[in-house]
Amino acid sequence: MQQAKRFNRDSFLSWEDRILADYAVHASCSKGRRHPEQDHPLRTAFQRDRDRVIHSRAFRRLEYKTQVFVTGANDHFRTRLTHTMEVAGIARTLSRCLGLNEDLAETIALAHDLGHPPFGHCGERALNRLLANDGGFSHNEQAIKIVDELEIKYPDFRGLNLTFEVRAGLIKHRDKATSLDGITLPQQPILEAQVADIADDLTYLCHDLDDGINAGLLTLTELNAVELWQRAGQHGHALPPDNACFASFRVRNLIDLLVADALNESRNRIQQAGIETPIAAESYSSPLIGFSPEIATAAMDLRKFLFRRMYEHPAVDDDNQRAVRWMCDLYSFFLRYPQETGQLTQQRMEEVGVKRAVADYIASMTDRYAIEQYRKFID
């Protein structure tokens, strides 16, 4: 009879040493946590971080936050949560096929949108305007703040106390002065973070297209003029246009095409640059994970097409704009009546000021909670 396997953290660490590429970040080389903790007997530091993200309140709230359509508009459209899960899946495939650390890439992908306020990018722009003279608002910075400060569940520290690698991986936009815990960050994020980033771009292009078709906003006739749509039709098995699965299968082919292109291009770049360590990847002059130039241009065209025909379409934009007006009204209301916010927010007002504490409170809201609060206090 076969003996039951006994794997644990030590086996996973040695497995990483045997299997992962030299340019991958091995969990045994993590720079650690802000508050030192004992290693877990079963999981590596990154596996543990992934679980911490999934068990966070901010992660659960993603279910009721807008991706493109205000949540509840249709049960089949993506929410921030299903978007995040699709990103994580693609990040895992890409990192596994590149010999990168799948646990790390997956964790960064799962956490990448934790900082999104309600009502998607419209909500983010509105908060940024409201805080224009007080440091602005960006969902990337907010994600770090959530995992470092705003999640409260451990007795000895605030936040989730994630590893340095996951936290740094959430900082996408960098200049020479960008730092974390006083350490200046290299020009490029680690490859696992670059993988999560391209997985995000790839995923939203494909699923927004899918939702746009299902919402009846995008017609197959106009899509025929979009280069990536045509290319996807020549990629793999094609269905006749009258087949019930025609559009969703074409989107599936597009995902496959983009993943294959990103893998191929990234492998070439890593090889040509002679990258052999994570540090070499981080200090390289340009990103090593990317699409080929032709596909990158075609992806940009698809993005512009989606903006014109979908994101700015009245069926999408009107709902979001109305929701954003409600959000701005809520912001003014809570500035005037701070006692109507939560207890934690009121405590934070003393530390970070009323405006920032209220903005963090509103940013944490789901679409439906924000609407509920609007109806309760203002409408």
- Vertex 302 angle, CA 290 and 236, to 5°: 75
Q: Minimum distance between the CB of residue 67 and Mg ion, rounded to whole angstroms?
A: 8
In this complex, which beta carbon is closest to Mg ion, that of residue 196 or of residue 275? Answer: 196
Q: What span, in angstroms and rounded, lies between the C-alpha atoms of 172 and 186?
A: 11
Q: Minimum distance between the CB of residue 323 and Mg ion, rounded to whole angstroms?
A: 19
Residues forming the site for Mg ion (CB under 5 A): 113, 200
Q: Minimum distance between the CB of residue 139 and Mg ion, rounded to whole angstroms?
A: 9
* Local structure of 183: helix, strand or coil: strand
Q: Minimum distance between the CB of residue 254 and Mg ion, rounded to whole angstroms?
A: 18
In this complex, which beta carbon is closest to Mg ion, that of residue 113 or of residue 261? Answer: 113
CB-CB contact of 165 with 25 (8 Å): yes
Q: What span, in angstroms and rounded, lies between the C-alpha atoms of 205 and 220?
A: 16
Cα 144 to its chain centre, rounded Å, is 12
Distances (CA, A) of 71 to 81, 199, 367, 368, 374: 11, 23, 7, 8, 16
Residue whose entry in the numeric block shows the structure tokens 């929701």: 323
Q: What span, in angstroms and rounded, lies between the C-alpha atoms of 130 and 133?
A: 8
In this complex, which beta carbon is closest to Mg ion, that of residue 105 or of residue 357? Answer: 105
Helix (H) or strand (E) holding 336: helix 314-336
Q: Minimum distance between the CB of residue 221 and Mg ion, rounded to whole angstroms?
A: 29
Q: Minimum distance between the CB of residue 310 and Mg ion, rounded to whole angstroms?
A: 16
Q: What span, in angstroms and rounded, lies between the C-alpha atoms of 105 and 196?
A: 6
Q: Minimum distance between the CB of residue 106 and Mg ion, rounded to whole angstroms?
A: 14
DSSP 24-89: S--GGG---BSS--PPPSSS-HHHHHHHHHHTSHHHHHGGGSBSSSPTTS-TTS-BHHHHHHHHHH
Helix (H) or strand (E) holding 138: none
In this complex, which beta carbon is closest to Mg ion, that of residue 200 or of residue 211? Answer: 200
- Which segments of the chain are extended strands (E)? 179-180, 183-184
In this complex, which beta carbon is closest to Mg ion, that of residue 207 or of residue 348? Answer: 207
Q: What span, in angstroms and rounded, lies between the C-alpha atoms of 240 and 223?
A: 15
In this complex, which beta carbon is closest to Mg ion, that of residue 270 or of residue 302? Answer: 302
Distances (CA, A) of 121 to 65, 117, 132, 176, 254: 11, 8, 16, 27, 24
Q: Minimum distance between the CB of residue 194 and Mg ion, rounded to whole angstroms?
A: 14
In this complex, which beta carbon is closest to Mg ion, that of residue 311 or of residue 326? Answer: 311
In this complex, which beta carbon is closest to Mg ion, that of residue 113 or of residue 211? Answer: 113
Q: Minimum distance between the CB of residue 372 and Mg ion, rounded to whole angstroms?
A: 25
In this complex, which beta carbon is closest to Mg ion, that of residue 103 or of residue 113? Answer: 113
User: Which of 307-315's residues contact partners 24+ apart within 8 Å by CB, and which partners?
Assistant: 309/212, 309/217, 309/218, 309/222, 310/68, 310/208, 310/212, 310/217, 310/218, 311/68, 311/121, 313/217, 315/215, 315/217
Amino acid at 213: I
In this complex, which beta carbon is closest to Mg ion, that of residue 24 or of residue 205? Answer: 205
Q: Minimum distance between the CB of residue 258 and Mg ion, rounded to whole angstroms?
A: 15
